[in-house]
Structure 1
Amino acid sequence: MQRRTLLRLSLGAGAVIAVAGTGAALWAPGLSAGKLSPGARTMVNAISSAVLDGLLPAAPEARALALQAQLGRFELTVANLPPATRKELSDLLALLSSAAGRWSLMSLHTPWETASVAEVSAALEMMRMSSMDTRQQIYHALRDLTTASWFSDAAHWAQMGYPGPRAL
């Protein structure tokens, strides 16, 4: 294969992935009326499992309940963002919910439903260490929103050593 052929093939594949991801984002927003779409819920659940690994309960039933509560807190945290930020986040969640977006931005080939905590953690770490500013920004946004929503519950403050506000 010649170098020009390889470059054309690469550019063509990149264009197809970009169009597919953008199309998916336009057809199914990640947020609708302040609620996560089903695909975004699955993605946020997987990312929360990876980001909060070690903070979540070990028992499967308790872990599932904690992640379910986390989704509600995540939606509440996002609802308090400015409208323009919510729109951008909605587009990002829709893009990452699609296979093309998950693959191109996170290099995660496993669907969100079946991705292990280790696979999602590795994909997040790749984004954190990426030379692309966009990937780093996405990583920080996902991590910060996940941890902010987790620690918005006073029951989790002790996990970070915060005793709570002082009584006056």
Structure 2
Amino acid sequence: MTDTTLPGAGLSRRGLLKVGLFGSAFLATAGVTASLSGCSASVPASGLATLRSGDLAFLRALIPVVLAGAVKPEAMPAAVEKTIVGIDYSLTRFSPAMLTLTVQLFDVLAMGITRGPLTGIWGSWENASAAEVSAFLQRWQNSSIGLLKMGHASLLQLVMLAWYGQPEAWAHCGYPGPPTV
């Protein structure tokens, strides 16, 4: 008979608690630092309900990398803007706790002091190449730190939810659209 058990993650309960505690402390420290430095302005960008201008720079670097292959290069600028609007729409419907966590993630990615060591992108998001953003995503996806893996998954889900919620994206994946009632 074939053994179908999965190998252990190599992380004990105590280790998991330590990682969770460290991650929570890190995000709280980064959030407080961002708030005190004025980096975490809670004022939404013009025309948006939740996303701030600092978030937009990051998303404009991230979205083309995530949607590469699914969107034609000439249609990418419009797809990026529609996806940003979709992400903003989704964020307005998040629970307060999930919204707070997402804003903290964006704050960590916006602050140079945390962005550089965590992503490998030491300059601004506006100057990051697609290869650098792709390397950052791969770094987080393959990280041994569970918090970074969760951040990677969250970012991808935000982008995918927003993009594939658009009728323009349906043809690429063969979805005919919702049935007419």
TM range (shorter): 0.7 to 0.9
2:122 maps to which residue? 109
Unaligned runs of 5+ in 2: 1-27
Alignment of 1:16-165 (within 5 A): 22-26=32-36, 27-29=38-40, 32=43, 34-59=49-74, 62-165=75-178
Tell me the TM-score normalized by structure 1.
0.78
Residue identity in the other structure for 2:33: G
Aligned length: 149
Contact 1:25 1:95 in 2 (8 A): no
Unaligned runs of 5+ in 1: 1-17
Q: Distance in 2 between matches of 1:153 and 1:32?
A: 26
Deviation track 1:5-64 (CA, whole Å, cap 9, x = no partner) reads xxxxxxxxxxxxx967751255333754532111111001111111111223312xx422
Tell me the TM-score normalized by structure 2.
0.73
Deviation track 1:98-139 (CA, whole Å, cap 9, x = no partner) reads 112211222222420011111101110010001010110000
Shift of residue 167, structure 1, vs aligned partner = 4.2
Q: Distance in 2 between matches of 1:24 and 1:111?
A: 16
RMSD: 2.2
Change (3 A) 1:47 1:22: farther
Q: Distance in 1 between matches of 2:53 and 2:122?
A: 19
Change (3 A) 1:143 1:150: same
Does 1 or 2 have the higher relative contact order (CA < 8 Å, sep 6+)? 1
Pick which of 20-29 and 113-122 moved more. 20-29
Q: Distance in 1 between matches of 2:83 and 2:133?
A: 17
Q: Distance in 1 between matches of 2:103 and 2:31?
A: 13
Pick which of 75-84 and 25-34 moved more. 25-34
Change (3 A) 1:53 1:46: same
SS at match of 1:113: helix
Q: Distance in 1 between matches of 2:29 and 2:97?
A: 23
